[in-house]
Amino acid sequence: MDISVVIPLLNEEESLSELEAWIRRVMNENGFSYQIVFVDDGSTDGSWHIIQNLAKENANIRGIRFRRNYGKSAALNEAFKIVEGDVVITMDADLQDSPDEIPELFRMIKEDGFDLVSGWKKKRYDSKLAKNIPSKFYNWSTRKMTGIKLHDFNCGLKAYRNEVVKSIEVYGEMHRYIPVMANAAGFTHIGEKIVHHQKRKYGESKFGMSRFIRGYLDLMTISFISKFGKRPMHLFGGLGSLMFLIGFIITAWLTYQKYIHSVFGMTSRPLFYIAILAMILGVQSFFTGFIAELIQSNTPNKKTYGIAEKI
């Protein structure tokens, strides 16, 4: 199979039929073998009913329905488990991402050799206050922290080599940082393509400031995990050793002052308690590293979600 198109959605009943017809036309015109995986993330409208009807008409459609809303990351994670295409393309269901971009994204993966190609909505039709300005600041800070030179980390339109999506696990709000996770997993050939962004035709945006705040917390998490997730002892053990060494040197110096220069009253000096505190924190941090190593090595990497139906 050439392409798997993954579409997470929440209450998008108005756009699904139009989106499916658009994707089908693009695939047929280019002679691609394909599948479309719709993931209904706990919709309360008629989205799942429409997906069922589309699947009856088009054998290339598969669907997953969650019992409740788990979020975009969970939707992508479950879809990535069943995709079969050599190239996996993700896009939003609101018709703001254009399926006409699929052939070029496919070519960049297959011919140019990219592991991942991220869309860049250079010209946006979103509200500047609600999305544009926060997104620019978010993307700038993400580039600085991760070193990955992408202009639009949060663009839903992305293309992946199949091996990439099979090698990562997406959870929480981590869908924004799939390029970071892919890079940490060794898929370093990451590209970017300017894509056409369209005005929302149906429904309302699901974006909120709470997602912006969570995004930064997740950025700190993914930065930590990508650097120390497999070796937590390198962080906690290093910090612990440094703090213990500082405390020990101060204690040794105070001891020298007392017994060689007869300077008494050491226990009344703040430096004495700083030294004791540094050594205690150092030991605790060091053993935290050991515990983290044990947890990391014995915890299976599996997430489960309440899937109600599959087709």
| Dist. CA 58–CA 136, nearest whole Å | 39
Q: Which residues contact 122 (CB under 8 A, 6 or more apart)?
A: 151, 194
Residue 92 — very low, low, confident or very high, per pLDDT cuts 50/70/90?
Answer: very high
Residue 140 — very low, low, confident or very high, per pLDDT cuts 50/70/90?
Answer: confident
Nearest to 16 by CA among 94, 86, 103: 94
Looking at residue 30, its pLDDT comes to 97
Looking at residue 52, its pLDDT comes to 97
Catalogue the E-assigned strands of the chain. Answer: 3-9, 34-40, 61-66, 87-90, 116-120, 158-161, 190-194, 307-310
* Section 256-281 average pLDDT: 86
What is the token pair recorded at 70? 């788990």
Residue 224 — very low, low, confident or very high, per pLDDT cuts 50/70/90?
Answer: confident
Q: Which residues contact 84 (CB under 8 A, 6 or more apart)?
A: 1, 4, 35, 162
Cβ atoms within 10 A of the Cβ of 240, count? 22
Report whether pLDDT(77) > 80: yes
| Dist. CA 173–CA 72, nearest whole Å | 7
Residue 105 — very low, low, confident or very high, per pLDDT cuts 50/70/90?
Answer: very high
Report whether pLDDT(104) > 90: yes
Report whether pLDDT(71) > 60: yes
CA distances (Å), 200 to each of 96, 166, 197, in order? 6, 31, 9
* Section 141-154 average pLDDT: 86
Q: What is the pTM of this model?
A: 0.74
Looking at residue 97, its pLDDT comes to 93
Looking at residue 114, its pLDDT comes to 97
Report whether pLDDT(133) > 60: yes
Looking at residue 298, its pLDDT comes to 66
What is the token pair recorded at 304? 């489960």
* Section 53-81 average pLDDT: 95
* Section 107-133 average pLDDT: 81
pLDDT greater at residue 251 or residue 302: 251
* Section 224-241 average pLDDT: 79
pLDDT tens track for 180-211: 889 988 999 999 999 988 777 776 665 555 66
C-beta separation of 30 from 115 below 8 A: no
